[in-house]
Structures are given as C-alpha cells and as structure tokens.
Amino acid sequence: MEWTGYVLSAHIEPIVLNEAKRMTSLYISTKNKDKLRELRELLGDEVEIHHPGDQDEDVEEIGSTLWENALLKAEEGFRRTGMLSIADDTGLEVDALNGEPGVYSSRYAGADATYQDNVDKMLRELNGVEAASRKARFSSVICCVREGDEPRRFDGVLEGTIIEQARGYNGFGYDPIFVPESDTRTLAELSAEEKNRISHRGRALRAFAQWWRTQV
C-alpha cells in the first residue's frame, strides 16, 4: 500500500461482525456530521454504517493532495476496525485563485475556521472579480481500503461558479456560494435529493457503490 509510513496512535477495539453482516457493513472515517448525513442518504438503508465516535482521535490530514488525505483516513479506519473502510477528502478549486483553496478548503480561513469563516474569506478574495472569471469546481476523492486488496480510488467532480453573495440554507461548507453549471441555484438552495443527484461526493460515492455491489 502507498503511504503506510505514518504511525497514528488512536486505537479502538475492532468491530466483530459475522460474514453476512460484514458484506453489508462499512466503516466511514469521518466525524463530520454533515458528511455522514449525506453518505447515509446516498448509500441507503441496506448498508450498515459505522464511524468514529466523538471521543475518538481525529486522523490528521497531513497529505498534500486529496488522495493522500483520503488514503490516510481510510487506512486508519481499517487499522482500527478490520472492516472495509472508506474515507473522502474534498476540495474547492477556484480558477481565479490558481486552484485554491484545494486540499486546504476546510481550513481556508484557519485551523479552527467555521463554514462561515471560509465563505467570508472566499468572497473577500474574489471581491471585484467578474462573473466570467469565477469558475470553480468541487473535487471529491474516496479511498477504499479492505483486507487483501490495494487501496481503491473513486473520483467525483462538479463544475460551477462562485457567486458574489451567499444564497440558501441547505447543505454546508461552500454550498451557499457555489452554483453548479447545470443550474441557476446554489447547492444550498437545492433539496438533499437534488444535490445528491449531481454532487461531486455523490458521483464519487456512486462509483464506489457500483464497484462495491459487484463484491458482495
């Protein structure tokens, strides 16, 4: 496996599952409640989802790419549980900012930045930039780690534009200022079903689910 040199100290007892349960269960290496909600909506009720508890140590995102961070988190999930484990990392790439914030999207305004802090900084950085130059894309990378297999990668991309003022109350992160190219509404103005149908994470997760269903 790639990137196996990092030793992470967190440890919890492996989850013990019988074989039938193991085939319909997976571990998602995130404590982000918004991501977990989206993943549950996308995977459906036939999948039993396990994830870290609030008391569990976070996996530090020390990678320089989305893939490296997703791999780190998925490998740690597998180490903790022995289950098929997936993790994602997502970045917003803005052309006018030379691809920033990218891998640093969740901490664009600082290590302890809130969603609003990041949105506010983005709007400040793009102040005065004309609409035609505000093209951007969300990229999601999902890594899957399981016993006896190399890490597997699944990608999803959503092209769009950053608008000048936030709109909408659904979603999270940069959703209120991102308009997908297939719509005139921001992601925060879409219903969960509408967003999941087109989103970067939804596309990556559907690619994973399509592969996974051939394995069970």
Contacts of 18 (CB under 8 A, 6+ apart): none
Other beta carbons less than 10 A from residue 46's beta carbon: 8
CA distance 125 to 171: 22
CA distance 189 to 46: 28
CA distance 113 to 107: 6
Burial class (CB in 10 A: 0-12, 13-18, 19+), 87: buried
Q: Choosing from 56, 58, 88, 89, which is the catalytic residue?
A: 89
Is residue 89 among the annotated active site residues? Answer: yes
Contact between residue 3 and residue 72 where contact means Cβ atoms under 8 Å apart: yes
Dihedral, 115, 126, 142, 205 alpha carbons, nearest 10: 80
Catalytic residue positions, numbered = 89
